[in-house]
Structure 1
Amino acid sequence: MDVNLPYYFSFWEGGKFVHQADLGDTWSDERIWKYARKHNLTVITKDSDFSNRIIMTNPPPKVIHLKIGNIKLNQLYEFLTKHWDEILKLSEKSKLVNVYEDKLYSID
């Protein structure tokens, strides 16, 4: 999970998620990508580099790209709480899920 995303959200707990802060704040995108590939993870990010990269390759990893701009933490939590189950369902069958304020778009 992207270092720029909150560490503590209830739906990111339970051992299913690894935050970049747990790995090292200084990891390069390349190192994160290799780690996620090796461990069959999904990268959750606000960074377009990962979504651009997955378009040219095959999973793992998969990518969830949050394209919702800079919003307050409580707004982000409310938004993701409302849409998280649908985002995960799309991610199960798609290599990339783009999350916008008004729509979800997946690429298989």
Structure 2
Amino acid sequence: MRQYLIDVNLPFYFSLWNNEKYIHQRNIDPKWKDVKIWDYAKENNLTIITKDSDFSERILFIEPPPRVIHIKFGNIKMKLFHKIITEIWEEVCRTSEDYKLVNVFVDRIEGIN
């Protein structure tokens, strides 16, 4: 059962997200605008994983679904991105169960309701 929708701006080839819980926007329609992504996630009760601040700004004014995980690393090498996410991903997912927005930084995770 799908739980997460990965925004097109995040890596498509990432073993951590290569299972039945995740669907990448490229598998649906890579040209979708934010509104269409949001509506799809809402209709399917998915959490949006993104680097796009538009989603995190929008969730502040409404209630889930969808929930949002906002990865706020800036520009880093893909190898480092994979390493950091792999090390903290379980905690990110647990935090997302209790908060409508999870901001993921290189050095910390913040949950916001």
TM norm structure 2: 0.92
Q: List 4+ stretches of structure 1 deviating above 2 A.
A: none
How much does 1:13 deviate? 1.7
How much does 1:2 deviate? 1.2
Matched with 2:55 is 50
Q: Distance in 1 between matches of 2:21 and 2:12?
A: 13
Q: Which moved more, 1:20-29 or 1:34-43?
A: 20-29
User: Is residue 2:26 matched to residue 1:21?
Assistant: yes
Is there any run of 5+ residues in structure 2 with no aligned partner, and where?
A: 1-5
2:91 to 86, 91, 105: 86
User: Is residue 2:12 matched to residue 1:7?
Assistant: yes
Q: Distance in 2 between matches of 1:14 and 1:80?
A: 16
Q: As a proportion of its length, which structure holds more strand?
A: 2
How much does 1:75 deviate? 0.5
> Share of identical aligned residues, percent?
50
Counterpart of 2:69, as a letter, is I
SS at match of 1:77: helix
Matched with 2:44 is 39
TM norm structure 1: 0.97
Deviation per CA, 1:44-93: give whole Å up to 9, x if none: 00000000000001000000000011111110000001110110010011
Is there any run of 5+ residues in structure 1 with no aligned partner, and where?
A: none
